[in-house]
Structure 1
Amino acid sequence: MIALAAVATLGFSGLIGSGTTATAAPTATTDLKTVPFEVSGELPIYPKALWRNGSSSADVRKVEARLVQLKLLDKQYQDNSFGTSTRSAVKKFQASKGIPELGYLDQNTWDQLKAATHEPTQTELFPPAPVVDGKRLDQRCATGVALCIDKTSRKLRYVVDGVVKATMDVRFGAKATATREGAFSVGWKSRNHVSKLYDSAMPYAMFFSGGQAVHYSSDFAARGYNGASHGCVNVRNLTQIKWLFDQIDIGDKVIVYRS
């Protein structure tokens, strides 16, 4: 860098043979910006990001809906948040168009994505949730694989792309150890789990929020709703939970809500 700066400051007069007319000498402050990164040490300039990993807005949902149209993104990942799945889909689209695979939406990528797709419909943006017993499930259960858990009806429904595959009776934590509500995902599974905290069996456990899990409860099977859990979602039927355990993968959605 010192040598380059010296050359830029002195000009090209020492490098050009006699009889050659030299143009204005380059300066360190202007011409070093055109020198490749490995020579200049300066960072390359990237296009401005419109939406990138971590962005959250209604516009992100529109981007995702267009990526779903192109089958570059699974609709179960369609929400208002730009995550790793969306970033991967964007990179695939950029590769297909010969655009640098930045993994975020710059203006050029957004223009080409709009040109390759149609304006998302309301249904594409917000797929309708399935109707069960005359009531719609939570909207978050409408796409992908979900354990859709309704605290009002005390039912767990195994839902795949809006279709209810199974329904199970469940109970929840007592007031002091309430089952948390919200959108989660299965973090890990344990077929023959035993709680170290309570020294109690939790067969076919699917953990979704800290120590809270969906699992079989022999106490629920024996006492019904007279008892309560320590925060977990208890399933009464052993045959059903055995089957469900084998259907669920790590990362599948768990939606706990009140209807």
Structure 2
Amino acid sequence: MIAAVALLLAGCAPGAVSPDATPLPAPSSPVAEPVPATPSAPAPSPSFSPDPVPSITEPPTQETAPPAPPPPPALLELSDEGDDVRDLQHRLLQLDWFSGKITGVYAEDTRLAIEGFQAKRGIPVTGAVDQVTLDRLHSMTREPTRDEMYNVLTPGPAIYAQGSKGDGVKDLQARLKQIGWYSPKIDGIFGAQTLEAVKGFQAKRQIPVTGEVDQRTKDRLYGMTRKPTADELNNVVRAATPSTMTLDDRCLTGRVICISKAQRRLAWVIDGTIVDTMSVRFGSELTPTRNGVFSVYWKSKNHVSSLYDTPMPYALFFSGGQAVHYSADFARNGYNGASHGCVNVRDKSAVAALFDAARVGDKVVVYA
């Protein structure tokens, strides 16, 4: 009976009564009431966890560097012409970056001057004039006059002129001789040869070419030379000392910068006569200084190497990027080093005098 009741309860909703059920007669003897079974907690339905869907990992995005900003627009560049270029050239001349006459043509010499100016001041080196370069140049210079832009020079009163005589003329001749402009004997007479020497000196330095010595000419000459000795003023030539440099035969005629690798010396020579000598050093085995006969093709007083970002004062270029120039490293460290192919000079005053004396076109001889 209990089993039957249990089966009934298991098959029906708890507490539900069938409407068609007929009441049973009361039993004659007491019947034990079945104790209703406590329904057990329904078994939990199995839960199904779906397999995790594998996530798709995107490949890392390659971050590309932003493109370099385009260079600022050029206001003046190679092949430009006109008064703006004249103004530019004279401003560069004021800072000793440009030499020679103002032409108004943006040629290679102007481009190289701009490169040097830009490199020295941390401006991107392009050789073209952008607004930053122009503003910096204007802040360091004054506006040139029209006469300056067109090479119109006004001379001052003459101190010495053709026909002048005396010790002052002797001093003048000896100083011109020191820098290679005068080669005859010192005689104290301002004649035709002295006149031509003064004209050449003036033309080289943008001084009115009159052949007369005005204050501007005298100041410039004295600033580049030393006081002559008594021997110089009286044409006394001392016997050569053992340290005198042995010259290559190619150095014996004309105006020559004569450079000996074996002797580690440079001589400034005019018609076979040594005017001055100085110690030099050269490139390493990896960057050798070229041997041969060359000529000075460009002068740059305050040059800065655009390749090595290194100052090259008083640079006399003779073969590609190779030049004679002052080297602070050579002055400091001597021969414990080498150049990148240039001819380094450690005597700054000597190479400054050579820079002023040498002309574009002068011969350069480099030999072992």
TM-score normalised by structure 2 residue count: 0.34
Greater per-residue strand proportion: 1
- The alignment's TM-score, normalised by the length of structure 1, stands at 0.48
Larger Rg: 2
